[in-house]
């Protein structure tokens, strides 16, 4: 079975705090891809990152960083020095096998307060 779990439904932080969004996935495939998407209040879905299962290197992009750990089947997302503009719903997603779709987690709503 393929599944993505985002256990944190909502997170509230004050600006400049660091925050980590958790993502745990399940798949039996050895080749798979993980994604993060951001959904700001305007509603559209914005692609943030794609990582394949053979690349466990952590990635940093400005204030964003991703920690991929196959041993714990996790692909966590950290925002450093959060800003109000980071307020959004964040989705983690999985693609594996021959399926023609992404499997999304339920999403984590992040509220960053001034």
Partner 1 sequence: EAQVTQNPRYLITVTGKKLTVTCSQNMNHEYMSWYRQDPGLGLRQIYYSMNVEVTDKGDVPEGYKVSRKEKRNFPLILESPSPNQTSLYFCASSLQAPRGGHEKLFFGSGTQLSVL
**Which residues in this chain contact partner 1 in the complex, by CB under 8 A?**
4, 6, 9, 31-33, 35, 37, 42-45, 47, 50, 52, 91, 93, 95-96, 98-102, 104-107
CB closer to partner 1 out of 1 and 114: 1
Q: Least separation, in Å, of the C-beta of 54 and partner 1?
A: 11
Cα distances from 19 to residues 29, 33, 50, 79, 101, in angstroms, run 30, 23, 20, 5, 29
CB closer to partner 1 out of 52 and 58: 52
Q: Least separation, in Å, of the C-beta of 82 and partner 1?
A: 22
CB closer to partner 1 out of 82 and 108: 108
Residue 71: strand, helix, or coil: helix
């Amino acid at each position: 079975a393929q599944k993505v779990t985002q256990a944190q439904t909502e997170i509230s932080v004050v600006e400049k705090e660091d925050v980590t969004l958790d993502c745990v996935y399940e798949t039996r495939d050895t080749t798979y891809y993980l994604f993060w998407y951001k959904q700001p209040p305007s509603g559209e879905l914005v692609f943030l990152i794609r990582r394949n299962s053979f690349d466990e290197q952590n990635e940093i992009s400005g204030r964003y960083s991703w920690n991929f750990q196959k041993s714990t089947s996790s692909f966590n997302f950290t925002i450093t020095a959060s800003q109000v503009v980071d307020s959004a719903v964040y989705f983690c997603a999985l693609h594996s096998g021959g399926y023609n779709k992404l499997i999304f987690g339920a999403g984590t709503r992040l509220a960053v307060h001034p």
